[in-house]
């Protein structure tokens, strides 16, 4: 069976290191593994509009930011198809048919939708488009016959919903759609990187993100101001590494060679953690190390971004070509769906001839 990746992001802001650890880094590794027949990376602007309907300019401006972040991270248009969701009208058509296979109560139970409704104070009046975005996400995934969807843990309910739709469609109309599998980050710490303030999630509105496009100095400042164990007041005090953002980031980003390079007094992260827990290790020292680690990871990304920032028309060209290719794939899947659903009237000569014959017979009998 062909192995196909589909994943994407909403263009509502620049991408941050949480996106990177949770999904982007993996995507690039998967891309370069050569194990996949096709890789589709979607800028989900239509989904972004489901809760930004009155702010199209924000979505429009962030298309290029997300595209630059993708290219900066090492997504390669020669190997991965970069596309813009709204440019694939087939996705709307698919969503329309999937809506018949999902109940309102099932959508209401979707934990991601539930959490987002609360977050946006939508309780009293939920836009229908927002409420149904898991269905449109199922279209995103199935349109490209994705087998593998590398995403963060927060997207798990979306994948479950998609799998249910695929199962239902195939049961009702016959085997047509490909069943996708979620691919979660392999490193536990990458599952959910907290904000620099220690809040569970990085979010633009909380101002607690480290962006992939931040300068070296911005990153340094953010790391040095990071929330740590609030009870670790003096260097001698024992500290807590659990739930401590500085250590969660180290879990996500540090590699053994970083110790050799930047902090040779410790052989590895376990030793550093043990010292911090025991007491006698100051936050500043750990933060300085984290800064070196993060800069090592972010520097090449920053450099590549600068190169692409000088080639904006080319970036749009990449997105346009990618969207075209994606559309032709989606159109084939949609044709298969319509055949399965028996709404392919004009292509079905047999139907037309049979009916013609039956009417001819009837009028012959009159």
User: Within the chain, what is the greatest distance between any pair of CA atoms?
Assistant: 103
Judged by beta carbon, residue 158 or residue 315, the one nearer ligand TRP is 158
| Residue 212 in the binding site for ligand TRP (CB under 6 A) | no
| Residue 273 in the binding site for ligand TRP (CB under 6 A) | no
Q: Which residue is nearest to ligand TRP (CB)?
A: 44
| Residue 263 in the binding site for ligand TRP (CB under 6 A) | no
CB 47 within 8 A of CB 85: yes
Binding mask 215-234 for ligand TRP (x = CB under 6 A): --------------------
Q: In Å, how far are 224, 286, 304 from 216, measured between CA atoms? A: 12, 18, 14
- Enumerate residues 148-187 that contact ligand TRP by CB under 6 A: 149, 151, 155, 158
Q: How far apart are CA 87 and CA 331, in angstroms?
A: 12
The region of 121-129, 135-143, 246-254, 345-353 touching ligand TRP under the rule CB under 6 A is 135-143
- Enumerate residues 1-40 that contact ligand TRP by CB under 6 A: 6-10
- Enumerate residues 46-75 that contact ligand TRP by CB under 6 A: 47
Q: In Å, how far are 16, 230, 238 from 251, measured between CA atoms? A: 17, 19, 19
The number of beta carbons lying within 10 Å of the beta carbon of residue 278 is 11
Among 140, 214, 283, 297, binds ligand TRP (CB under 6 A): 140
Token duo for residue 267: 């052989």
Helix, strand, coil shares of the chain as percentages rounded to 5? 60, 5, 30
Q: Transcribe 210-226 into DSSP letters.
A: -BTT--HHHHHHHHHT-
Binding mask 291-330 for ligand TRP (x = CB under 6 A): ----------------------------------------
Residues that bind ligand TRP (CB under 6 A): 6-10, 42, 44, 47, 137, 140-141, 149, 151, 155, 158
């Amino acid at each position: 069976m062909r192995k196909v990746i589909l994943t994407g992001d909403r263009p509502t802001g620049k991408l941050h290191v949480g996106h990177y650890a949770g999904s982007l880094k993996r995507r690039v590794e998967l891309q370069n593994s050569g194990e996949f027949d096709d890789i589709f990376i979607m800028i989900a602007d239509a989904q972004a509009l489901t809760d930004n309907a009155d702010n199209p300019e924000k979505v429009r401006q962030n298309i290029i930011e997300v595209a630059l972040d993708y290219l900066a991270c090492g997504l390669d248009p020669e190997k991965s198809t970069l596309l813009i969701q709204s440019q694939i009208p087939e996705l709307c058509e698919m969503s329309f048919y999937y809506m018949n296979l999902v109940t309102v109560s099932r959508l209401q139970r979707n934990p991601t939708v539930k959490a987002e409704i609360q977050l946006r104070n939508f309780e009293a009046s939920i836009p229908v488009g927002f409420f149904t975005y898991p269905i449109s996400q199922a279209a995103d995934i199935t349109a490209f016959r994705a087998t593998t969807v590398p995403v963060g843990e927060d997207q798990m309910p979306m994948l479950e919903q998609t799998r249910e739709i695929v199962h239902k469609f195939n049961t009702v109309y016959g085997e047509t759609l490909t069943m996708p599998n979620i691919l979660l980050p392999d490193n536990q710490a990458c599952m959910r990187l907290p904000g620099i303030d220690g809040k569970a999630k990085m979010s633009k509105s909380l101002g607690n993100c480290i962006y992939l496009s931040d300068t070296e100095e911005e990153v340094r400042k953010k790391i040095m101001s990071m929330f740590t164990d609030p009870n670790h007041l003096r260097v001698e005090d024992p500290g807590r590494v659990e739930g401590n953002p500085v250590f969660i980031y180290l879990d996500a980003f540090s590699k053994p060679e970083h110790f050799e390079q930047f902090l040779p007094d410790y052989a590895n992260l376990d030793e550093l953690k043990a010292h911090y827990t025991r007491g006698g290790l100051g936050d500043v020292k750990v933060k300085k190390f984290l800064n070196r680690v993060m800069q090592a990871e972010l520097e090449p990304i920053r450099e590549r971004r600068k190169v692409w920032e000088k080639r904006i028309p080319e970036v749009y060209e990449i997105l346009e070509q990618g969207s075209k290719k994606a559309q032709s794939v989606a159109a084939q899947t949609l044709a298969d769906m319509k055949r399965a659903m028996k709404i392919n009237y004009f292509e079905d000569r047999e139907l037309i001839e049979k009916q013609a014959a039956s009417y001819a017979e009837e009028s012959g009998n009159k």
